[in-house]
Amino acid sequence: MDCIFCKIAAGEIPSNKVFEDDQVLAFYDLDPQAPVHFLVIPKEHISGADQITAENSGVVAHIFEVIAKVTAELGLTGGFRVVTNCGEDGGQTVGHLHFHVLGRRSLAWPPG
């Protein structure tokens, strides 16, 4: 499968890593939308938030544990935002589940 985030997870494409374990990888976004902007992905290929099931949702819980840990380590005490874009209307451009974590600036709500 030709999936850029699977290749990043496998180390075939380099990334600026924030955190890694056997289940997940967190790395800085190439096109940051905030002073801190990283992505957290499952190493297992899940194409998007519409493909989360009872069988694979454990890694999603783990991703949120990693987000709490990494944002604390980065000192994002003012808060942060977690976003997953899904499908065309959601603005998803990479078909491998990923959670954007944005911080260190005040973020508007609702998003555009």
> Catalytic residue numbers?
98
Which distant-in-sequence residues (6+ apart) come within 8 Å of 74 by Cβ? 18, 36, 103
> Is the alpha carbon torsion for 42, 48, 54, 57 positive or negative?
positive
- Interaction of residue 81 with Zn ion, rule CB under 5 A: no
Q: φ, ψ for residue 37 (rounded to 5)?
A: -150, 105
- Rounded CA-CA distance 80/69 in Å is 13
Interface positions, 27-56, toward ligand AMP (CB under 6 A): 27, 29-31, 39
Q: Which stretch binds Zn ion (CB under 5 A): 16-24, 43-51, 66-74, 82-90?
A: 43-51
Least Å distance, CB 58 to ligand AMP, is 22
- Interaction of residue 93 with ligand AMP, rule CB under 6 A: yes
Which positions lie near ligand AMP, rule CB under 6 A?
Answer: 4, 13, 15, 27, 29-31, 39, 85, 91-94
